[in-house]
A and B are shown apart, each in its own frame.
Chain A
């Protein structure tokens, strides 16, 4: 990971902690909804935290293709630039 990616990963991990009830170890390939077994409402809470922190909107179609932490890092990177 580049420094930028590592920085976003660390921040996402921090934002995800309150939802990570089973304290699953987070890696770039961790599937957010699946590996952490969080329900759809909590996932939306987490997405809201991400949007608020990075001051961006993540549209539904983008969310639909976001599975892993790595995917989410790319989403944040791409939308930070625009």
Chain B
């Protein structure tokens, strides 16, 4: 059964038309009724959006409008690209890696694949200074895991992607220009049907063991519909803004697929441009009167701290949905943001905390739009010792933890909180979060072991996250056991350990990486390294090499602690116990190595004082 939630343009309840024309594509379609999802394939959704005038607008690093593409133009270009992909020798069902830069070219190839029945795998478009080797390794791992037969790349990363494709044994590497060289005509295309798959998302898994999340047409359509209708409650007057990377689920599903399935215009700023000038986010949202945007807490923090100049000249009172997802929602950051941007008319009730993951396409839980965020303050000891979320009136962060409530599951989606025996838990009992429903992935691509490790017999999936129920809403207390969330990025400790173990002075099994909580509840990265050396300067040089290696390969600063040999705990099967190492380090059972000379140095420096 299909339900149409249609709204008459301009006459819908609460539809307020501002006397204002945005740059780029219009906010409102004048001759097409807004339909919030309910399509059976992504192609059907784009076909519908193509009947209007809305579309996508891409802003450059200095805030200039670089390119504007209506959904109509995008559809035309995507169909041409579909023929080009076929004529390039790629067959239906094959996987195509696509470097996901924020621009029309990526969209054209992604949807070209949909019309040609090929499976696009968006690939990271990101770089830090001196990060060539780690980028190439990461891309090669993804291409290998996807068994891709071709890659389409931007011109600037062409050489790096060719290097990666070479390592993965893939011969067909095409720049957008080369792809455009193939004929855009041919026999009838075989687009994906409602029972087919749609794309593979690589925001899950570590570099050393990437896992491709396989999303079907059904899941993509179900999740985008639920997001549009129930998560964000989209209206005809809405206009979206996004600086999120398109190789992540929040960027791809939240701000490419969802707006398109709802015929909403989107203004894009590429992630590196946002990172360089966070204030552009606010300026462009004000300029185009955008109403919906999303980001991790980290993004709001960056924007609030770096918002500069005349904030009072900005006009942000129209900002209806300021969604937060992708990391632990931090109330202190949201407070700073709304205090800083209040002068521009920003209202704190626009904040919309949510919970989701690529394994469920994107969205799982949303707070009611139009409600103030709710913070639950609980007792630390009760949480740690008894697994209960006991309300506390204390304010000392040593005694309590504050969590932002993340809302209810989307309609037709199920969620339960269970203990280790699988028993369902009630309000304020902390357990593992399991989910089911139409948005679940089909599985990890060609990785049955990883898929069956998280799928339950009754169709529920273990998210790996911990939380508790509170009046029908979910509160997340910790994300996937080992994963480190650092500045909005998911970092796998395995990647850090793997990279450090490559150093000559370090052996396999010598390294344990984990997150420790910083003073604001943020994740800081701590790395324990077993060291057999005894001299101070030698130990220091290894420490320096480890820090440098982490900085070079992962791009973060970590606290590196050199510990004596045989101090890291291992499980009976010989696997490193990260949580064990973290607990022992926290308790003081593992301590920094004491060199033969340091004690003397310390004694001398004490004596000198």
Contacts and interface: CB of A to CB of B under 8 A. Distances in A.
Interface of A: 31-35, 37-41, 43-45, 47-48, 57, 59-61, 63-67
B130 interface: yes
B564 to A, nearest CB: 25
Interface in B152-188: 156-160
Contacts of B386: none
A43 B551 CA distance: 11
Task: Give the residue among B125, B126, B276 with the most A Cβ atoms within 10 A.
Answer: B276
A60 B557 contact: no
Contact of B548 (A34, A44, A47): A34
Sorted nearest first, the 5 A-B pairs with minimum C-beta distance are A64-B132, A48-B276, A40-B555, A67-B130, A60-B127
Nearest to B132: A64
A65 B160 CA distance: 10
A43 B556 CA distance: 11
Interface of B: 61, 125-132, 135, 156-160, 272, 275-277, 302, 487, 547-548, 551-552, 555-557
A65 B381 CA distance: 48
Contacts of B159: 61
A41 B302 contact: yes
Contact of B127 (A38, A45, A63): A63
Contacts of B552: 31, 33-34
Nearest to B558: A37
Contacts of B272: 44, 60
A64 B275 contact: no
B545 to A, nearest CB: 10
A31 B130 CA distance: 9
Nearest to A35: B548
A35 B557 CA distance: 11
Nearest to A62: B156
Contacts of B157: 60-61
A59 B276 contact: no
B130 A48 contact: no
B277 A40 contact: no
B556 A45 contact: no
B557 A38 contact: yes
B137 to A, nearest CB: 12
A37 B547 CA distance: 8
Contact of B130 (A32, A44, A45, A61): A32
A41 B276 CA distance: 8
